[in-house]
């Protein structure tokens, strides 16, 4: 992973890297750097997974409920470019994901993204007469490193740590909290590590445990650990974002919906935007009918179509009540076929 070197708290003149903020990041780093080292060394096979986590899948447990501002997510708008030309509130979306911290960005660019995010938070909660939109950020990969004042810190802790340090009070006053969207998780051990990070940050910011929330991005690469990831993050989970590319509705997708709803959490569909409008309309309709609780897109022009479809098939805030128990065993069967 890239290693960004920051020698001074006054880098680029950013008012985000204050002395207090740097001390906060250093404390966060010292608490978790050894855990990260152990996480990097952990490996687990699908066969081991089935044996080790069988009790988790068979036990009765549920994901802790989300706050009011995350209960309805029929339309999620993700933006990976910064700054924003217009506020997402005007788009009609229920949730905005600031996907700013990509691997291609330098540390300076990520600081600029943080500055723009700060402006957005101010406008979202203080400069609009409309209802503020819920906000999530997607931090950098936890494996990426930033060298700050001689310490090799996880870039994900830097990104989310700065967000938590500067915005928790504002979010709390407005009935919200720091939320994040986790991409690239490969194992449930990573989910467990993030759960510990969130628990620690809640104590540091005087928040009730379970206030901070994280969605889990599920792809075909990590789908076999869906239930295990939910379990590890059950006190801090805001649900699942399922990315299946252009495959449409498959039995794997139905199984993920079934697992999410069994555990009382949201399952949001993401992707499949680049289609002809007629095909896209059909895909969205099928996703709503099958039980997805919403759609995540990067193209704001699709929002009104999505709202119209989900309003028709999902008049309630979500479809967590919709159980598809006949598909629950599909992921377990898929894992079984991978065991040699």
What is the reported pLDDT for 334? 61
Structure tokens at 252: 């794997």
What is the reported pLDDT for 50? 55
55-82 pLDDT, tens digit each = 888 899 999 999 999 999 999 999 876 5
- Does CATH place domain 3-42+67-338 in 3.20.20.10? no
What is the reported pLDDT for 80? 73
Compute the chain's Rg from CA coordinates. 20
Question: 């076929």: which residue's tokens?
Answer: 337
What is the reported pLDDT for 237? 98
First to last CA, the chain: 32
Asked whether the beta carbons of 257 and 291 are under 8 A apart, the reply is yes
What is the reported pLDDT for 112? 87
Pick from 243, 256, 219: nearest CA to 298: 243
The whole-angstrom separation of Cα 118 and Cα 335 is 43
Instruction: Say which residues have a Cβ less than 8 Å from residue 26's Cβ, sequence separation at least 6.
Output: 148, 149, 151, 153
The whole-angstrom separation of Cα 89 and Cα 121 is 12
Query: What is this structure's pTM?
Result: 0.90
What is the reported pLDDT for 160? 96
What is the mean pLDDT, run by run of 10 residues, along the chain of 340 residues?
Answer: 43 76 95 90 58 83 96 92 58 89 80 88 73 90 89 94 96 94 93 97 97 96 93 98 82 94 97 78 94 94 94 97 85 55
**DSSP bridge pairs for 6:** 148
What is the reported pLDDT for 330? 81
What is the reported pLDDT for 211? 97
Domain-wise residue ranges, the chain? 3-42+67-338
């Amino acid at each position: 992973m890239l290693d960004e070197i920051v020698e001074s708290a006054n880098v680029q003149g950013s008012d985000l890297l204050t002395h207090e903020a740097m001390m906060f990041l250093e404390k966060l780093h010292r608490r978790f750097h050894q855990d990260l080292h152990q996480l990097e060394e952990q490996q687990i096979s699908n066969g081991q997974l089935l044996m080790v986590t069988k009790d988790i899948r068979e036990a009765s447990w549920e994901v802790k409920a989300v706050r009011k501002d995350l209960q309805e997510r029929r339309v999620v708008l993700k933006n990976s470019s910064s700054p924003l030309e217009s506020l997402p509130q005007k788009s009609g979306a229920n949730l905005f994901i600031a996907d700013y911290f990509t691997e291609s960005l330098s540390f300076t660019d990520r600081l600029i993204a943080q500055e723009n995010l700060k402006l957005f938070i101010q406008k979202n909660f203080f400069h609009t007469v409309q209802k503020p939109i819920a906000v999530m950020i997607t931090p950098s990969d936890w494996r990426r490193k930033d060298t700050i004042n001689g310490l090799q810190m996880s870039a994900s802790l830097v990104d989310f740590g700065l967000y938590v340090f500067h915005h928790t009070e504002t979010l709390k006053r407005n009935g919200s909290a720091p939320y994040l969207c986790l991409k690239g998780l490969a194992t449930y051990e990573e989910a467990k590590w993030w759960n510990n990070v969130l628990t620690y940050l809640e104590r540091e910011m005087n928040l009730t445990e379970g206030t901070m929330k994280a969605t889990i991005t599920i792809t075909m690469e990590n789908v076999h650990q869906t239930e295990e990831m939910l379990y590890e993050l059950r006190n801090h989970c805001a649900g699942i974002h399922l990315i299946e590319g252009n495959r449409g509705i498959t039995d794997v997708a139905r199984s993920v919906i079934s697992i999410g709803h069994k555990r009382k959490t949201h399952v949001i569909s993401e992707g499949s935007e680049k289609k002809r409008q007629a095909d896209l309309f059909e895909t969205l309709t099928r996703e709503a009918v099958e039980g997805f609780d919403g759609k995540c897109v990067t193209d704001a022009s699709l929002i009104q179509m999505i709202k119209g479809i989900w309003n028709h098939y999902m008049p309630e805030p979500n479809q967590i009540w919709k159980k598809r128990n006949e598909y629950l065993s599909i992921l377990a069967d898929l894992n079984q076929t991978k065991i040699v």
